[in-house]
Structure formats: structure tokens, C-alpha cells
Amino acid sequence: MTATTTLSSKFQISIPKEVREGQDWRAGQEFVFIPKGKGVLVMPVPKPGELAGIARGAKNLDYRDRKDRV
């Protein structure tokens, strides 16, 4: 899927229809912009109810901490 759009003079971008429909994005939905190198990752912000239970069964043993990283 390749779609392009143009940044307006008000710094707004319209998300192409094929992208909106493919991702099931709706008007009024909140998004987060995450800088990645010379690009930006755009992701919808999940509602609290959508996060319920995502860590069910997770164990707090054998996890990596920042001090484990090089």
C-alpha cells in the first residue's frame, strides 16, 4: 500500500482513505507521533479498556532491565 499526502499551510495532513480504512481509524481518534530517525511513527492511542488484561499471566522473573543493556 503506497499513499501520499501533502502537508497544508496549517501543518495538517489528511490521511488517505485507503490507509484509514485499512487501519480502521475513525474521526476523533487520538494519535501519538513518535520520532524515528528522519521519519515519524504514527500510532493510535489505546483507550484504557483496550489495555485490560494484556499482561495477564506475565511473570516478573527473568526480565531484562536497563542495567543489563550495553
Structural domains of the chain, ranges and CATH numbers in brackets: 1-46 (2.10.260)
- Per-residue pLDDT of 11-64, as tens digits, reads 999 999 999 999 999 999 999 999 999 999 999 998 888 888 888 888 777 777
Burial category of 57 from C-beta neighbours within 10 Å (exposed 0-12, middle 13-18, buried 19 and up): exposed
Predicted pLDDT of residue 61? 77
Q: Which of 26, 13, 18 is nearest to 2 (CA)?
A: 18
* Helix (H), strand (E), coil (C) string for 1-70: CCCCCCCCCCCCCCCCHHHHHHHCCCCCCCEEEEEECCEEEEEECCCHHHHCCCCCCCCCCCCCCHHHCC
Predicted pLDDT of residue 70? 64
